[in-house]
Structure 1
Amino acid sequence: MAYVVPRPNLTWKEKIYLPSIVAGLAITIKHLKRMLKGETKVVMQYPEEKWDAHMPEHYRGAPTLVKDEHDRERCVACQLCEFICPPRAITITPEEIPAESKFAKVEKRPKEFEIDMIRCIYCGLCEEVCPEQAIFLRKDYAITGTTRAEMKHDKAKLYELGGVMKGLVHKWNPKK
């Protein structure tokens, strides 16, 4: 037997729907006044005008890889970013560092590092989990491509976009 949920009876104000219409118009008029005073910009002539100067501090853009000031990879291919990525947009193929290298203590580096920007949801989890601060979210919102292949950024493209970030890199610290 089905249980029927009784619906509450509407008041006469709710039946005529007028207070809701007036509240909606009040919000619209408030925004119109702000626009006429010049406090709110309505239209941006993109690509001539860009948001670059007005980007919020907390904006999370596209993930890229960065190098240190000596042009060395920061990434240790720990694959934490790959494991934490919700849409599985990151793919890392690690390789061993040769034993004769003075940085053999690191054990591995990324042979291939790929981020599928079509799948990426720009959540920032990859940047937060990275122990060497190798992934950086840049303040770019215009990520375009004409094919799916162009939207898959490989290691070379990610380093080109990321650039250099200064600071301590545990990977290259001989005391660690």
Structure 2
Amino acid sequence: MQTLNFWQKLYIPEILKGMWTTTRHFWANVLGRRHTVTQQYPEQPTYVDERYRGRHRLMRKEDGAPRCTACMLCATSCPALCIHIEAAEHEDPTVEKYPGSFTIDELRCVFCGLCVEACPCDAIRMDTGIFALAAYDRGNFLYPRNLLLGDDEPINIAEGKTPAE
């Protein structure tokens, strides 16, 4: 074991080095020589990269119908088992089936993007850029098909909405 010399036993030089670093950073920030990285979140919009995986959405065909064919590949590839699809028969004989019920449990989702990669018809995407998912009730995190298609809007507390409004 190495023996400590006199200055190492005092710890004073190390304390002064640490205080010098703290003081230097303090005055650099006070005098404005350094760029501030803090964002005032609700007032100042946050930059979201185009590759960011945000809230899910379902895509529509040109005629307005959902692109999803209820093939169950997204639900099968999901490691969190948060996608629940119930297939239904379509009235049109050229269309085999469609999702009668399509629900995503955002509380279980790990936002891995495997559902997007597994979808053969590009029906599900995560490119909304919405990252502030907040609600008062756990049931508001079960996103049904009409919300994923954009017909309804979720209650988002982070945007200033409250259940009373």
Q: TM-score with structure 1 length normalisation? A: 0.66
Equivalent position SS for 2:150: helix
Q: Are positions 1:47 and 2:42 aligned together? A: yes
Q: 1:48 deviation in Å?
A: 1.4
Q: TM-score with structure 2 length normalisation? A: 0.70
Q: Aligned residue for 1:154?
A: 144
Q: Are positions 1:132 and 2:88 aligned together? A: no
Q: 1:145 deviation in Å?
A: 1.4
Residues 30 and 127 (structure 1), Cα distance of their counterparts in 2 relative to 1, 3 Å cut: farther
* Distance in 1 separating the partners of 2:85 and 2:33: 52
Residues 124 and 31 (structure 1), Cα distance of their counterparts in 2 relative to 1, 3 Å cut: farther
* Distance in 1 separating the partners of 2:71 and 2:113: 17
Q: 1:38 deviation in Å?
A: 4.7
Q: Aligned residue for 2:155?
A: none
Partners of 1:114 and 1:153 within 8 A in 2: yes
Aligned length: 144
Q: Deviating runs (4+, > 4 A) in structure 1?
A: 9-12, 15-19, 29-35
Give the AA of the match of 2:94.
F
Percent identical? 31
- RMSD of the alignment, in Å? 3.4
The one of 103, 111, 116 aligned to 1:114: 103
Q: Are positions 1:72 and 2:65 aligned together? A: yes
Q: Aligned residue for 1:92?
A: 85
Q: Aligned residue for 2:33?
A: 37
* Distance in 2 separating the partners of 1:128 and 1:32: 49
Residues 109 and 41 (structure 1), Cα distance of their counterparts in 2 relative to 1, 3 Å cut: same
Residues 48 and 95 (structure 1), Cα distance of their counterparts in 2 relative to 1, 3 Å cut: same
Equivalent position SS for 1:128: helix
Equivalent position SS for 2:117: helix
Q: 1:119 deviation in Å?
A: 0.8
Residues 10 and 130 (structure 1), Cα distance of their counterparts in 2 relative to 1, 3 Å cut: farther
* Distance in 1 separating the partners of 2:79 and 2:3: 47
Q: 1:63 deviation in Å?
A: 1.3
Partners of 1:64 and 1:161 within 8 A in 2: no
Q: 1:31 deviation in Å?
A: 10
Partners of 1:63 and 1:136 within 8 A in 2: yes
Residues 86 and 39 (structure 1), Cα distance of their counterparts in 2 relative to 1, 3 Å cut: same
Q: 1:34 deviation in Å?
A: 8.1
